[in-house]
Amino acid sequence: PLLAHIFKALIYWPTKQEILANMPVCFNNFLDTTVVLDCTEISVQVPKCLACRIRLYSNYKSTFTLKFMIGITPGGLISFVSEPYGGRISDKVIFEQSGFNKMSYP
């Protein structure tokens, strides 16, 4: 939790105006884009508990992982990081459970 507390100050949800002011040229045809989402997995040690192994095993990576959904503005600012999920969970479920849709612009 200490590391999460430290990094939370670095994650900022900018306004649409701030995003447009820092929009790279390569996004000129995509001016409505405010965030690019991706789920990423980080390998972890093999859990001792069987239930944990089941939750953390990623078929995609063929190992035990934690999975996060990360949002990055077109200008490269990290604007969203979800809570960690077991590697077994789908990207769709992370999107639905992460609370990201509550942060989206109207």
pLDDT one-digit tens code per residue, 1-48:
576 677 788 888 999 999 999 999 999 999 999 999 999 999 999 999
Determine the Cα angle at 98 with ends 48 and 70, to 5°. Answer: 85
- Percentage of the chain with pLDDT > 90? 75
Predicted pLDDT at 88: 95
Beta bridge partners of 39: 69
* Residue 49, domain extent: 2-103
Count of domains forming the chain:
1
Beta bridge partners of 57: 64
Mean pLDDT of the chain: 91
